[in-house]
Amino acid sequence: MVRSIRCWREPFTTHADGSDAALAFTELAGEEDGPTIGISAAIHGNENAGSQAILELFRMLRGMPLRGRLLLLPAANPRALAVNRRFTPIDELNLNREFPGDPAGNYTQQLAHAISRHFLEVIDVHIDLHAGTDRPTVDYVYIWNDEAMSRAFGSRILYRPAAGRGGTTFSGTTKAVTIDRRNIPCVVVELGGGIVDQTPYVGRTVAGVMNMLRARGAIPGDVVAPPAQTVVREIATIRPTRGGWLEPLAPPLGAEIAGGALLGRVTSPYDFATLEEIPAPFARGVMILSHLSRNLVESGDYGFMVGNLEGAGS
């Protein structure tokens, strides 16, 4: 069973109102020795499905047998989460491009350094939960450096990028590997978001993380075999070039879409004119991210993500 539960805050700077800027951690320690598995969410503050999933995971796991430790970071960017903003509102920087951070840098760089020091450099496995922000919805899992664990989450679409993005938590994790000469498996989950009920996505996230924990031997139980999976090597991110109502026309997430078929159109809220039609980019594509409702967008906002099925594997 869980031997102990500890909650604490790690201050890393101060706010102008005199309060401490701090990260909130919860640790569940098992009765048996084992790896420390870190689970994080809300690196982007308007992606809260992962934070909700960590709440549900805590409630489930605190009464279960556990091997090793779980280190939970449900609000990696607390100021951004509090105001439902993607970027840190203090300096408008993308936390997921600032790792490993700088203790003498600006606010977001200090935050990234605190996460690196108190989280990334003390865990043995990293599960990082993302979503599709507060308007579009997303559904896929990255394959970084532990394919079996990525597959164990159970998503039907996986993405194998050519290389990691500089400044992300994954590159921060690989820096920790360099410093500590450790091999740290990392899985990045992209699931949920949008102006729709998050309950199904939170439920899937909880089920997927529990299956990964079983696969790592952290909790007992049989590992659920994944469904048929498609691994894409290329994803196109399509952003509208005009602001207005983005009206989705694409098929559901995970469905195929032919090249040239309309993903959506942008319509003026004022004179109802069609401002832009957005076609699918690949001859054979699969929907990765989409708006599931008519949403107001600005030019350059996230519109759609489509995986290229040409050259995809299983």
Instruction: Please enumerate in sequence order all residues whose Cβ is within 8 A of that of 139, keeping only pairs 6 or more positions apart, or say none.
Output: 155, 156, 157, 190, 191, 192, 253, 254, 288, 289
- Residues 48 and 118 placed together within one structural domain of the fold: yes
- pLDDT value for 37: 98
Residue 26 within a domain: yes
Query: Is pLDDT at 305 greater than 60 in this prediction?
Result: yes
Burial tier of 56 (Cβ tally within 10 Å: 0-12, 13-18, 19+) = middle
One domain, residues 206 and 244:
no
The domain boundary, picked from 159, 185, 215, lies at: 215
**What is residue 176's predicted lDDT score, i.e. its pLDDT?**
44
Concatenated DSSP letters of 222-261:
PPPPP---EEES-EEEE--SS-EEEEE-SPPTT-EEETT-
Judge if 119 and 186 occupy the same domain. yes
pLDDT beyond 70 at 29? yes
Mark whether 289 and 193 lie in a shared domain.
Answer: no
Torsion angles phi and psi, residue 23, rounded to 5: -100, 135
State how far Cα 168 lies from the chain centre. 11
Same domain, 111 and 176: yes
Are residues 207 and 252 both part of a single domain? no
Helix and strand element counts for the chain (H, E): 6, 17
Interatomic CA distance for residues 273 and 301, integer angstroms: 20
229 lies in a domain? Answer: no
Q: Pick from 215, 250, 268: which residue ends a domain?
A: 215
**Average of per-residue pLDDT across 59-78:** 98
Domain carrying residue 299: 235-308
Q: Tens digit of pLDDT for each residue in 227-277? A: 999 999 999 999 999 999 999 999 999 999 999 999 999 999 999 999 999
Residue 1 pLDDT level (bands cut at 50, 70, 90): confident
Helix (H, G, I), strand (E, B) or coil at 137: strand
Contact between 253 and 288 under an 8 Å Cβ cutoff? The reply is yes
Q: Is residue 194 domain-shared with residue 287, that is, in the same domain?
A: no
Residue 287 located in a structural domain: yes
The pLDDT assigned to 182 comes to: 52
Predicted pLDDT of residue 237: 98
pLDDT in tens, 151-190: 999 999 999 998 655 556 655 544 443 333 456 899 999 9
* Position 221 in a domain: no
pTM score of the predicted model = 0.94
Torsions phi, psi of 244, nearest 5?
A: 155, -160
Q: Mean pLDDT throughout 46-69?
A: 97
Indicate whether 116 belongs to any domain. Answer: yes
Q: Which of 180, 215, 250 is the last residue of a domain?
A: 215
Quote the CA–CA distance of 165 and 161 in Å, as a whole number: 9
27 in any annotated domain = yes
**What is the rounded average pLDDT for all residues in the chain?**
94
Domain-located, residue 230: no
Do 276 and 174 share a structural domain? no
22 and 141 both lie in a single domain:
yes
In a domain, 154, yes or no: yes
67 and 175 both lie in a single domain: yes
Angle at the Cα of 194 from the Cα atoms of 256 and 291, rounded to 5 degrees: 40
Q: Which residues of 260-279 are buried (b: 16+ CB within 10 A; e: fewer)?
A: eeebbbbbeeeeeeebbebe
Q: What is the mean pLDDT of residues 51-74?
A: 98
- Both 91 and 168 in a single domain? yes
Alpha-carbon gap, residue 130 to 41, rounded angstroms: 6
> How many percent of the chain have pLDDT more than 70?
93
pLDDT digits (tens, 9 = 90+) for 193-212: 999 999 999 999 999 999 99
CATH assignment of the domain containing 265: 2.40.50.100
Average pLDDT for residues 20-43, to the nearest whole number? 97
Count of structural domains within the chain? 2
Whole-number Å distance between alpha carbons of 44 and 192: 13
pLDDT of residue 178: 34
Are 296 and 246 within 8 A, CB to CB? yes
Distance from C-alpha of 6 to C-alpha of 8, rounded to nearest angstrom: 7
pLDDT tens digits, 104-149: 999 999 999 999 999 999 999 999 999 999 999 999 999 999 999 9
Instruction: Please give the Cα distance from 110 to 240 (Å, whole number).
Output: 33
Both 283 and 174 in one domain: the answer is no
**223-252 CB burial, b ≥16 within 10 A, e <16:** eeebeebbbbebbeebebebbbbbbbebbe
- Reported as a single tens digit per residue, the pLDDT across 83-98 is 999 999 999 999 999 9
115: domain CATH number is 3.40.630.10
